[in-house]
Amino acid sequence: MQRRSWDFLGGAVLVGMATLMVLGSYQFSTRALLGHDSHYHVAAARSFLTDGLQRNGLRWLPLTRVQDKWVDHEYGWHLLALPFLSGNPIAGAKAFTVLQGLALVLTLYLIARRWNAPLGGFLALVAVAGSGAMLSRVSAFRPQTLAVVLLLWGLWAIVERRPRALVVLTFAFTAIHIGFFILVLAGVGASILRTGLAWLGHDEEDAPGRWAEALAVLAGAFLGLVVNPYFPATIQSFVWHLGLPSLGAAPGLEGTPFSTWDLIELNLTVVAVLALTVCIAEARSAFPSSRAIRSDTLLLFFAFLALFLAGLRHRQWVDWWVPVGLLWAGLSLRDILGSDLSHVMPRRQLVIGVALGVAVGFSFVEYRQRASPGEEESFDRFRRLASHMEEKERPPRGERIYHSSWTHFPQLVHAAPACSYISGLDPELLASRRPELAALMEGLGRGAVAAPSLPIRIAFGARYVLVDTERDQGLNSQAQRDPLLETVLEERGLSLYRLRAAPALPLELNGSWLVAGAQTQGGRVFDDGCLVFTTGLSGALLDLPLPLPQPGQTRVSIQAEATPPGATFNVSLNRETVARAVTTREMEGGLDLPMLGRGLARLVLTLTGQTQGPVTLRLTRVRLEGR
């Protein structure tokens, strides 16, 4: 017994040292912060010191649906990582990331040894040393790694039927990652599986209370959502995320699948281990009808299968299916061959084979990862942007920056956390709150707007414009020709522009961005700039902020196309009726409206009237003149 304990401890030490060597050498081989989302998580954790929980809205994204209410589903992880970021945040983030990876590998090793799975150390190391995808993702400063650790311990609690521990683990899972529903589904699925096996007569144990695990995960998740600093918004936010395609398909690259070759190439050793397990099971007839079916092995198999199938569609699931699949492989080998493999091959040959497998796998992974440069270049590019903003521009707190690509948000918020931005985290956050701005952003990126400075300043309220010159060449070309925009910084793939001055009168607004930038009530805005009222006519046709510096009165003239020809309108400016019974012909010819008073900061154009059928309006021009 004592010798076995020493073997267990010695194995844990060796596995831990090997893990630190693998993760440490990869993590500290570059000065860049690895992983695209790592920059956001550094800024989010550090923001607790300056902004607190931000329950009343995330100040970085004032135009999105998190403008009024913000729920940080990863607040527990951010607080846990915060002490590591107090000094040098980059070095601290790297150290915390390595410790997370160490926790993952040791968790796999401890559970495998606990369940007498053979090759526990090998399977644990393969998770990071035999998968290029896992190595790159575990090396990112994000909560997914710790979430996978809690998932593995949750599966351990389900298999060993420890409902109290399962409540605590699910509660902790809920505090650090929105993927806690995976553990909830596993607990409920385990109860259903055990009930079905008992009904078929295959359950190997007499297990009263087979639904204890289901109740435990549900209770833990409920407590995690309620005993939460963001409650009650946590429940509403989680329900909203359930309806998002990004929960099953993360936006950007995360939502795309691996190609078949990349899936095999990046997970070569893992795929080989899983394939070998299946082949041995088939050859040895591991599950004959006369043998009781083990519910724990079946549970892990179904969990692995579900996560793997999800991973075939979206690469973000590789974080989950690789460790769960390796744990299932260990249990399957235990059921097939037993915990001692000495009858299969001599111990010396086994040790040498395992060592060579790890070495070859890690060498292959290192080669594959080194063949994908760009992290350090991107890191340096945004670091120079941060230095320029801090030393030259010195924007006030809350200064809004228009960025053409929402994927730049993590680097931007890390580079200039005092500013605010247009879109980030998920494009649905902007599209669900302000679809007209999302459409305008897409049109600007294509270069459809000839003078982008005015809509960017008026509709988005931004004074700085950051353009991805490789992705949004149309916007970059228009910005270079815009006399109101001046280039203040150029980097490879990025250009930063600054608006020379606020828009001055006279100001003429035209083009499709007019209606795209408006908020409407009572009607629907179509992509071609039409506003359609299906019953009667009542709504704001235009609602735009106007940061005009000049005091004094302002004259407004509008021109619009309207059908049917016999429709008449009452026109209001800023809630004051300025014209009655305006005909379609008058609208098409242009309508001069009375002067507005001093301090114009917003233009709200409203049309009302009575019609017999649908009314279509197309706003073509708005001109403002000062006296």
Please determine, for residue 469, whether its predicted confidence score (pLDDT) is greater than 60.
Answer: yes
Q: How do residues 184-206 score in pLDDT, each as one tens digit? A: 999 998 888 888 777 766 555 54
Higher pLDDT, 396 or 203: 396
Name the residue type at position 89: P
pLDDT at 172: 95
Give the confidence band of 50 by pLDDT, cuts at 50, 70, 90. Answer: confident
Ramachandran region, residue 622 (left: φ > 0; alpha: ψ -120 to 50; beta: rest): beta
Write out the DSSP string of 278-329.
HHHHHHTT-S-TTSPPPHHHHHHHHHHHHHHHHHHH-GGGHHHHHHHHHHHH
Rounded distance between C-alpha atoms, residue 564 and residue 360, angstroms: 74
Residues 243 and 194: their CA atoms lie apart, in Å, by: 30
Contact by Cβ (8 Å): 296, 331: yes
pLDDT at res. 321: 81
Spatial separation of the C-alpha atoms in residues 311 and 325, rounded to whole Å: 12
| Residues ≥6 apart with Cβ < 8 Å to 610 | 536, 537
> What pLDDT, on a 0 to 100 scale, did the predictor assign at position 247?
39
- Residue 583 pairs in a beta bridge with 568
**Structural domain boundaries in the chain:** 2-30+71-370, 376-499, 507-626
- What is the per-residue pLDDT across 70-79, written as a single tens digit (0 to 9) for each? 888 889 999 9
pLDDT at 572 over 90: no
Mean pLDDT of the chain: 76
- Residue 41's beta-bridge partner residues? none
Q: What are the beta bridge partners of residue 530?
A: 618
pLDDT at 581: 81
Average pLDDT value for residue range 405-412: 87
Q: How far apart are CA 531 and CA 237, in angstroms?
A: 31
Provide the percentage of residues in the chain whose pLDDT is more than 90. Answer: 14
Ordered DSSP codes for 503-564: --SSEEEESTHHHHT---SSSEE-TTSEEEESSSEEEEEEEEE------S-EEEEEEEEEES
What per-residue confidence (pLDDT) applies to 281? Answer: 57
Write down the pTM of the prediction. Answer: 0.79
**What gap in Å lies between CA 268 and CA 490, rounded to an integer?**
41
CA–CA separation, 484 vs 35, rounded Å?
Answer: 36
Longest CA pairwise span in the chain (Å): 97
Report the alpha-carbon distance of residue 198 to residue 295 in Å, rounded: 10
The H or E element containing residue 569 is: strand 568-573
pLDDT in tens, 99-146: 999 999 999 999 988 888 877 777 888 888 777 778 888 889 999 999
pLDDT of residue 141: 93
Q: How confident is the model at residue 397 (pLDDT cuts 50, 70, 90)?
A: confident
- Could you tell me if 520 and 533 are in contact, meaning their C-beta atoms sit under 8 angstroms apart? no
Average pLDDT value for residue range 414-425: 87
Chosen CATH of 376-499 out of 2.40.160, 3.30.70, 3.40.50, 2.40.350: 3.40.50
C-beta separation of 472 from 405 below 8 A? yes
Q: Which residue has the higher pLDDT, 222 or 620?
A: 222
CB of 425 closer than 8 Å to CB of 438:
no
Alpha-carbon distances of 571 from 546, 574, 580, 610, 621, rounded to whole Å:
19, 10, 6, 13, 15
CA distance 579 to 228: 53
| pLDDT band at 430; cut points 50, 70, 90 | confident
Residues 529-542 have a mean pLDDT of 54
Residue 191, amino acid: S
> Minimal CA–CA distance to 451: which of 475, 487, 423, 422?
475
Highest mean pLDDT among 34-43, 205-214, 540-549: 34-43
- Give the whole-number percent of the chain exceeding pLDDT 70: 72
Indicate the pairing of strand 591-592 with strand 554-563: antiparallel
The model's pLDDT over 140-176, given as tens digits with 9 standing for 90+, comes to 999 999 999 999 999 999 988 899 999 999 999 999 9
Q: What is the spatial distance between Cα 541 and Cα 543, in angstroms, rounded to a whole number?
A: 7
The fold for domain 507-626 equals: Jelly Rolls (2.60.120)
Q: Which residues pair with 618 in a beta bridge?
A: 530, 561
Instruction: Give residue-wise pLDDT tens across range 264-299.
Output: 555 555 665 666 666 555 555 544 443 444 667 778
Q: For strand 507-510 and strand 524-525, is the pairing parallel, antiparallel, or unpaired?
A: unpaired
| 226-244: pLDDT as tens digits | 888 888 878 877 777 676 5
Residue 28 burial (CB count, 10 A): 12
Q: Give the Å distances, CA to CA, from 114 to 118, 156, 281, 334, 552.
A: 11, 9, 22, 12, 79
pLDDT at 517 over 50: no
Over residues 333-370, the pLDDT tens digits come to: 777 766 555 455 455 445 545 554 555 455 445 544 55
